[in-house]
Chains A and B, each alone.
Chain A
Amino acid sequence: MSDMIEIRNLTKRYDGAVAVEDVSFTVESGQIAALVGTSGSGKTTLLRMINRLVEPTSGQVLIDGEDSHSLPGYLLRRRIGYAIQGHGLFPHRTVAQNIATVPRLLGWSADQIRDRVDELLNLFQLDPDAFRDRMPHELSGGQQQRVGVARALAAKPDLLLMDEPFGALDPVIRAKAQDDLRHIQRQLGTTLILVTHDMEEAVTLGDRIAVMDKGRLVQYGPPSEILTAPATPFVRDLIGMRERPFHLLSLTPAHAIATEGEAPGAPIARDASLREALAECLWSGRSAVPVEGGGIVTLAALQAHAAPTARAAE
């Protein structure tokens, strides 16, 4: 895999106050990187330096090896998808016009734009005939959010930046929106950098997690590493001691630890997470649950998997 995004020693100071201090990391093509931290940790500033909504004080961003300063900011931003909390849809434009924003700036033909809008609406499970001509204020919160992401993806960017994209959604819709995003991201192969304050969201979505604290990058790695070997007390606090085993379980699909055997009751899906398997065991009082397509997941295996020592031994 190629390095899609390379962030080198990126720093931003405002009148001497440090917002982001000497941050470097790499996101590979097609991966999701989640920037996590408390408010004021510099994660949003870091994200906005990637598409140069904020100009860095020093440091570089390389996109496919090319310095992001090699073209004017507004041209750079047309190549990078951007979705924000509260969607930011243009209230005076229809859904179709909103989605068409960047393709129109890039001078696509009317036919191309129409096809692309319909394609995206279908992808986000919005019937084009019903939604094309609606105004943003006529949509529900979840629909607005989907249109916001569809707009960000309209010109087929290789890189998508999202700032708390699900922050304004209620928990039920948020879980569905996260699922859909993951699915669409895999389908399109888009590299995604996402800002969130929610460790659960970062663990669910991220291939890599970057933990920010007071403008510095304190840890960068796969979710399992962040969970099992937090680099600082701050990272441990952010994970939350009570949630840690469950986060860990949510990383692995059931079929990965399924063993030979028979167990009673309804089976769980092959790619259901171990967290769901545990919930199923506890709720139905079973010591093992069958997995669709063969095998079982036992409570003992789940227990072993939820402890960091077990993972370190792998």
Chain B
Amino acid sequence: MIVDFTLIAESLPIMLKGIGITFQLLIISGFLGLILAIFLLLMRISGKWYLSFPAQIYIYVFRGTPILVQIFIIYYGLPQFGFIRSSILWSILREPMGCAIVALSLNTGAYVSEILRGGVLAVGKGLIEAGSALGMSAYQKFVYITAPIATRIALPAYSNDVISLLKSTALASTITIADMTGIARTIVANTYAPYEIFISLAIVYLIFTFILQKLFGYTEQYLGRYTKREG
């Protein structure tokens, strides 16, 4: 089989035009998802059932269903209701981009809150007791002891989730969004050259994954500076 390099050379710049959309999806949903995750985490560790139970249900539902189904429910499903179309949310949900960001944020929030919770649970009990023995309040213990240590512990898993989110942004192409994958699918439909187009696009994604991993690697090293004996 002959690989058509001219086609790749012509198509790559066109696909890369979708990079802005891919990044918007990644960064906005990543940020909103993280905020949501922190809220869910605080609800779950609050020790109050009327806060932790709803958070648990939310996480269970969003982790137990495919992200594609969530995107379709929000994009195709919600307009079924008149009250949604007449609400202020409509300005966001009317746009495919708005729907994709909402769906990705809601989804990643559920996963990230579980990751953060893992970090919180992994903080040594002795350290919390030391904080108590020094008379620190629950809030002070969380902010000064639990949170910084949990952040370090949770970071590797969190970086994996950000990479998952990057991969999930490609699903925006299923609701007419022209991100990199969306553009690639259009090109393939016209040229019928899936190998050239999809593989070169896969390499683009791999490069971004690699960059993300490096960035998180440096952050991990910085946050973990106190775990090495040699200063």
Q: Do A and B make up one complex? A: no
Which B residues fall within an 8 A CB radius of A? none
Which A residues fall within an 8 A CB radius of B? none
